[in-house]
C-alpha cells in the first residue's frame, strides 16, 4: 500500500481522468489510503469503483465551460490537498503516432495538443485556486519521457512528443507563478513509465521486457514520488522511480 507520510490527515483528493487505466488505479490507491477523507473523481466516461469516499462527476477537458462547472462543484472552500491530472491521448480511430513529419496532419496535431496540453492548462487555471494554501499540496500532471527534448533520440511521434513538451513548459511556467501565490503548493510533472493500458496497447511489442507496468503498480509508485516531493521540487519532471528527467 502506498503511504502519504509527508501529508497531514483528512486529505481531499481530486482526480481528473478517473475512468482511464492509470486514473482508475490512482482512484483505487487513494481510496485505500487511511489519510484520505474524500475523493472527487472527474471523467468524461462512467467510473466503475464505488466508495463512501468517492464523489463522481463528469468533465470534458476540451470544453472550458465544462471545466469551470466541474471546478465549481468543489469550490465551496480551498480544501483540496492533491490534484492528479491523468488525461491524455496518443491515438484513436482517426489519430496514429506519426513515423515522420510527412504524416503529420493539421487536424490531428490540433486534437492532440487540445487534450495533452490545453486541457491540463484549463484544469490548472480553475482547479489550482481550490488547493489548500495552509499545508503541503500537490498539482500533478502525467506527462511522458518522450516529451523530453534532451531525451529525444529517435524522432517521430511528432504530435505526441511536441504536445508533451508543451505540457512540460506550461507546468514549469505555472510552477513559477504558483510559488508566489501558494508557496506550499508543488507543481509536479510525472512520467508513469509504459503502463499496460489502452493508450499503450498497440505499441507494447516494442517495450523491453520488465518495462511494461500494470496501472496499479505505476500509480502506487507515483504516489510514493508525490509523498517525497518538497517545495524545491515544484516544476520538475520526475519518473515513476523518483529519478529526475531533463526537459
* Per-residue three-class SS string for 27-45: HHHHHHCCCEEEEEEEECC
120 lies in some domain: yes
Q: How confident is the model at residue 68 (pLDDT cuts 50, 70, 90)?
A: very high
Mean pLDDT in residue range 52-79: 93
Residue 3: the pLDDT is 80
| 106 occurs within a structural domain | yes
Instruction: Provide mean pLDDT across the span 95-99.
Output: 91
Residue at 129 is within a domain: yes
User: In the structure, how many helices (H) and strands (E) does the chain have?
Assistant: 6, 9
186's enclosing H/E stretch is strand 185-191
Residue bearing the bigger pLDDT, 2 or 52: 52
CB 165 within 8 A of CB 186: no
Residue that the C-alpha cell 486534437 belongs to: 111
Per the domain annotation, does 1 fall within a domain? no
Domain of 44, in residue numbers:
11-239
92 inside domain: yes
- Structural domain includes residue 39: yes
Number of domains in the chain: 1
CATH of the domain at 131: 3.40.50.720
What integer is the mean pLDDT of 2-18? 93
Q: Decide if 128 is inside a domain.
A: yes
* pLDDT score, position 50: 82
Range with lowest mean pLDDT among 4-13, 92-101, 124-133, 216-225: 92-101
Residue 245 lies in a domain: no
Sorting pLDDT into bands at 50, 70 and 90, what band is 93?
confident
Query: What is the pLDDT, as a whole number, of residue 178?
Result: 96
Amino acid at each position: 500500500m502506498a503511504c502519504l507520510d509527508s501529508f497531514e490527515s483528512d486529505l481531499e483528493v481530486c482526480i481528473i481522468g478517473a475512468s482511464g487505466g492509470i486514473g482508475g488505479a490512482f482512484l483505487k490507491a487513494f481510496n485505500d489510503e487511511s489519510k484520505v477523507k474524500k475523493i472527487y473523481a472527474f471523467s468524461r466516461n462512467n467510473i466503475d469503483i464505488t466508495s463512501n469516499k468517492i464523489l463522481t462527476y463528469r468533465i470534458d477537458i476540451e470544453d472550458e465551460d465544462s471545466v469551470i462547472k466541474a471546478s465549481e462543484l468543489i469550490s465551496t472552500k480551498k480544501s483540496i490537498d492533491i490534484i492528479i491530472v491523468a488525461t491524455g491521448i496518443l491515438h484513436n480511430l482517426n489519430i496514429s503516432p506519426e513515423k515522420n513529419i510527412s504524416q503529420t496532419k493539421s487536424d490531428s496535431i490540433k486534437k492532440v495538443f487540445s487534450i495533452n496540453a490545453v486541457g491540463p492548462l484549463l484544469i490548472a487555471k480553475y482547479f489550482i485556486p481550490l488547493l489548500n494554501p495552509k499545508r503541503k499540496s500537490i498539482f500533478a500532471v502525467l506527462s511522458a519521457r518522450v516529451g523530453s527534448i534532451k531525451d529525444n533520440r529517435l524522432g517521430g511521434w511528432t504530435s505526441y512528443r511536441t504536445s508533451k513538451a508543451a505540457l512540460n513548459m506550461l507546468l514549469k511556467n505555472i510552477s513559477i507563478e504558483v510559488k508566489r501565490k501558494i508557496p506550499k503548493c508543488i507543481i509536479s510533472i510525472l512520467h508513469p513509465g509504459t503502463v499496460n493500458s489502452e493508450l499503450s496497447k498497440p505499441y507494447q511489442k516494442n517495450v523491453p521486457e520488465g518495462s511494461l507496468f500494470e496501472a496499479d503498480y505505476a500509480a502506487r509508485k507515483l504516489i510514493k514520488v508525490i509523498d517525497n516531493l518538497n517545495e524545491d521540487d515544484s516544476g520538475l519532471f520526475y519518473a515513476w522511480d523518483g529519478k529526475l528527467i531533463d526537459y
